[in-house]
Amino acid sequence: MTEDESTIDGRIDEIDEFEAELVESGTTIVKCMLHISFDEQRERFLRRLRRDKRWKFSEGDLETRCHWNAFQPPTATPLPARPTTPHPGT
């Protein structure tokens, strides 16, 4: 297991523990994932450069976009590992 895989596994364990605490306290958990393509992200950034959307633009958006490929494996890997009903009542 690589260091990255170990880190991801550790995060999944932390999420499981946190979710279990939430469910035990009566919270209903709803999970959603918004995934957009590299091209869609580009289009959204370009729209932010319009005068009426300029307030949404941040230079940090460009920095984040530079790391697109690095962000993909960590976000994609845990999803298949997640059970559909990790805790009773969810």
Among 64, 66, 44, 41, CA closest to 56: 44
Check residue 77 and give its pLDDT: 57
- The 10s digit of each residue's pLDDT in 27-72 is 998 877 777 888 998 898 888 888 888 888 888 888 888 887 777 7
Cα separation, 51 vs 36, in Å, equals 24
pLDDT at 10: 86
CA dist 34 and 75 (Å) reads 11
pTM of the model as a whole = 0.46
